[in-house]
Amino acid sequence: MKITLKHLTKVFANAKTKTEVVAVNDLDVEIPSGKLIGLLGPSGCGKSTTLFMLSGLEQPTSGNIIFGEDDVTTLAPEKRGIGLVFQNYALYPHMTVEQNIMFPLENMRVPKEEAKQRAFDAAKLVQIEDLLKRKPSELSGGQQQRVAIARALVKMPSVLLLDEPLSNLDARLRLQTREEIKRIQQETGITTVFVTHDQEEAMSICDSIIVMKTGIVQQMGHPQEIYDDPANLFVANFLGTPPINVFTGEIKNKAVYIGDEKIIDTEFEDQEIYIAIRPEGFIFDQENGVLTLSREHIEVMGRDKSVVSTHKNSQKPTVRSIIDSDVVLPEDVKQLKFNIKSNKIFLFNKDSEMRLK
Ligand code: ATP
């Protein structure tokens, strides 16, 4: 089921302080049918509010929500054909796993035998069919989250909404469960919206990501496309581990400068800019390198190593460059020189922070 959001806006008014918060500001996107879409952004950017409006738990201030061809903006949550999974699994502790999964079907008055079969099928899909007789307290966090997902799927929803579903899991389980979510989504083909503040999580499993900041969409696209072609400095900064390196600099006479070092030629006019370079964009070249960094220490990462260094024009305390572990760095040289790969460097106007086009 395709989802269309038309100028969706949510304003929260605080009667006490007489202030307003625009949680979601003119969200205008189309979510293609059968895809896994990530709503990504820092805390407070409006991700959950968007999800709540999709679910019907929150009413928009203005704009429309269209599922397929139907406008569902004012439709009650239970009539929207959605499955919802939250960060806290919200399972009923006194019920067994099976009863928890069957619960939504009781409300829908599905006959007992059919409900049992559907609960089993949903449990099988998330691979917990052996745990049906247990109580939630007898399950691990990852298993509890699977029960919550099965409970959302048992209704056979046409849209699945996941709000930070992995937040309560430890690092290993997060990794495993996110792959599970991808598998389940692919097997069922249900249009799924996945809210997260974790860029790595969104990039690894989503077909497309919507990056938000202060209620406003910054960019939407395939994870690789956004990584390779960020629209503005915020997006460039938000995606990537280790994060992108940002320098202040300028364009002078058709060349990009960081301090007094000329980094690359450019066709753009003279202006002050931010220069962002991905960690993997540095090539060590002590003879002909265009950018000099003061080496601090080296982090061994296995296949690669990360050179941690400093530069007076860097926005962050350190600059990180990832280089192949085979590359030999001179032992006692403090000033290391690098060339920069042209597809790993991005230029942003200093005032607007928009990418130079
Ligand atoms: P988080 O990752 O921390 O959950 P989020 O991106 O999901 O953040 P929202 O919960 O959607 O962000 O909140 C967006 C903005 O709206 C925030 O500034 C928040 O304080 C505000 N907000 C959310 N719910 C309400 C409410 N019921 N009343 C007033 N303001 C609200």
Residue 63, ligand 1, Cβ within 6 A: no
pLDDT at residue 89 is higher than 80: no
Q: Which distant-in-sequence residues (6+ apart) come within 8 Å of 113 by Cβ?
A: none
Ligand 1 and 92: CB distance under 6 A:
no
Question: Could you tell me if the CB of 216 is within 6 A of ligand 1?
Answer: no
Residue with tokens 């100028």: 7
Pocket test for ligand 1, best of 49, 59, 197, 216 (most atoms within 8 A of CB): 49
* Residue nearest atom 11 in ligand 1 by C-alpha distance: 46
Residue 114: which residues within 8 A CB-CB, separation 6 or more? Answer: 105
pLDDT in tens, 111-144: 999 999 999 999 998 889 999 999 999 998 888 9
Cα atoms found within 13 Å of the Cα of residue 279, Cβ hemisphere only: 21
Say which residue the tokens 């296995």 belong to: 302
Q: Check if 48 has its Cβ closer than 6 Å to any atom of ligand 1.
A: yes
> pLDDT of 165-188, one tens digit each?
888 778 888 888 889 899 999 999
Report the atom number in ligand 1 closest to the C-alpha of 24: 14
Establish whether residue 11 lines the binding site of ligand 1, counting it when its CB lies within 6 angstroms of any ligand atom: no
In the reported structure, the alpha carbon of residue 49 is separated from the centroid of ligand 1 by a whole-number distance in angstroms of 6
Ligand 1 centre and the CA of 207: distance in Å? Answer: 25
Sheet containing 3-14: which strands, arranged edge to edge?
19-31, 3-14, 62-67, 70-71
Q: Which atom of ligand 1 is nearest to the CA of 197?
A: 2
Q: In this structure, what token pair is assigned to residue 223? A: 């994870």
pLDDT of 350 reads 96
317, pLDDT greater than 80: yes
Q: Is the CB of 6 under 6 A from ligand 1?
A: no
Per-residue pLDDT at 15: 82
Among 9, 10, 12, 216, which is best to mutate for testing ligand 1, by the most ligand atoms less than 8 A from CB? 12
Task: Indicate the helix (H) or strand (E) that contains 284.
Answer: strand 282-284
Superfamily assignment of 3-238 in CATH? P-loop containing nucleotide triphosphate hydrolases (3.40.50.300)
pLDDT of residue 300: 86
What single-letter amino acid sits at 225? E
What SS3 state is found at 59? coil
Nearest alpha-carbon partner for 165 in 141, 188, 132, 199: 141
Give dist(CA 51, CA 163) in Å, integer: 7
Question: Which residue puts its alpha carbon closest to atom 10 of ligand 1?
Answer: 48
Over residues 133-142, the pLDDT tens digits come to: 999 999 988 8
C-alpha 334: how far from its chain's center? 37
CA dist list (Å): 342 to 30, 64, 224, 277, 345: 32, 42, 17, 9, 6
Q: Whose CA is nearest to atom 18 of ligand 1?
A: 44
| Domain chopping of the chain, boundaries | 3-238, 245-349
Atom 26 in ligand 1: residue holding the nearest Cα: 12
Instruction: Find the mean pLDDT for residues 319-342.
Output: 92
* Tokens read off for 332: 């006692």
Report pLDDT digits (tens) over 39-82. Answer: 999 999 999 999 999 999 999 999 999 999 999 999 999 899 99
The verdict on pTM exceeding 0.75 is yes
Q: What CA–CA distance (Å, rounded) separates 199 from 204? A: 8
